Structure 1
């Protein structure tokens, strides 16, 4: 029985999600309601090179936009390094488009931590931009990249 309880606890930890603290960094067209990251049990999220991570952002639009584009930066102090996300266009992959004012949506995106990433603590700045390159929503959170 003890062995079963230990296995159950390990499975719960492996699939755990934690609602991360929202550090809004310039949301213009939406209000972020919550952010969950798979396999993140506390902040900073421990990110292992070569593993996939999925972010879930629940947000409510304050203005209608026709396009949504994925943008991610990793930062050390004032240095912000762009990280390409595939696909760049979020429409009909991560969210339906157009995004209509007053409606609540769930943005979901899975990315792989690259093997070439340095092992250090960074601030991830995740933005979804409209057709005019303005932030629909933007949030920042701390990540600890490790092997």
Structure 2
């Protein structure tokens, strides 16, 4: 019953729990991902829109740092997508307060603008939050398909 209530609340807020594949979360475990203004998976991201990605994850080790990296994968080629503030510890909007403690659950948030210059395209997004202290182990890593639409 709790799951149904949560699902209904997310739909009212215009969010959807997206379909994703874990791609190597070594130092953490993803427990949920939502995207604002997305009501289906794969998300259809409209050009000129802003989308907030929320990732809930549990840590498997302590970490002093957390840096986000996003890539678009099209036909097997990964193209980096620069984030406005990749340092999650320094970004006040990320919801992350460092240092991260072992065996704790955190919510990471980032808002991405979708440029009007992007082509209409289906692409796989790869999103990593890495701990620089532990040689770049992924606190989380996920891949999810998206569709950019006009």
TM over 0.5: yes
Alignment partner of 1:88 out of 86, 90, 107? 86
Partner of 1:6: none
CA RMSD of superposed structures (Å): 1.6
State the structure with more CA Rg. 1
Q: Given that residues 19 and 42 in structure 2 are in contact (C-alpha distance below 8 angstroms), is that contact kept between their aligned partners in structure 1? A: no
SS at match of 1:55: strand
Gaps of 5+ in 2: 1-9
Q: What is the TM-score normalised by the length of structure 1? A: 0.87
Q: Give distance in 1, aligned partners of 2:11 and 2:21.
A: 25
Partner of 2:40: 42
Partner of 2:63: 65
Partner of 2:7: none
Matches within 5 A, 1:105-144: 105-131=106-132, 132-144=135-147
Q: What is the TM-score normalised by the length of structure 2? A: 0.85
Shift of 1:115: 2.0
Runs of 4+ residues deviating >2 angstroms:
12-15
List per-residue Cα deviations over 1:28-63 (Å, max 9, x = no partner). 111100001111111110001111000111110001
Gaps of 5+ in 1: 1-11
How many equivalent pairs are there? Answer: 136
Change (3 A) 1:103 1:77: same
